[in-house]
């Protein structure tokens, strides 16, 4: 039987997420290559090292357009919280943007 007191209230579901030892170490990336199709967004993470002309994709994340937008909103929220606590993140002008084009600042 469902709860009729507040039908608009979403049901909270607890999800247990396991973090393996290898995944907990993380992967350092200073370049993300983002592409998309009508059905999905693909983010390839790699890193560029000084003096090295070749790079390898270290991780590939494939997600729906809806999840890509939710990720973007979560990143905007977390960056705002970070800057509130630690100050503005300064972006130095470089000849290359390493996979991140200049976009207008989002407040």
Q: Kindly state the tokens that stand for 4.
A: 């009729």
What is the tens place of the pLDDT at every residue in 26-60? 999 999 999 999 999 999 999 999 999 999 999 99
Domain boundaries, the chain: 22-86
Q: Check if the beta carbon of residue 96 is closer than 8 Å to that of residue 50.
A: no
State the pTM of this model: 0.71
What is the tens place of the pLDDT at every residue in 65-78? 999 999 999 999 99
The gap between the terminal CA atoms of the chain, to the nearest Å, is 44
Alpha helices in the chain (DSSP H): 21-25, 65-86
């Amino acid at each position: 039987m469902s709860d009729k007191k507040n039908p608009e209230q979403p049901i909270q579901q607890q999800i247990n997420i396991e973090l393996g030892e290898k995944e907990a170490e993380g992967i350092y990336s200073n370049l993300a290559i983002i592409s998309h199709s009508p059905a999905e967004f693909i983010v390839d993470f790699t890193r560029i090292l000084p003096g090295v002309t070749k790079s390898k994709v270290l991780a590939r994340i494939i997600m729906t357009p809806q999840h890509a937008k939710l990720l973007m909103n979560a990143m905007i929220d977390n960056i705002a919280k970070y800057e509130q606590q630690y100050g503005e993140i300064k972006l130095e002008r470089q000849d290359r943007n390493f996979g991140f084009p200049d976009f207008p600042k989002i407040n």
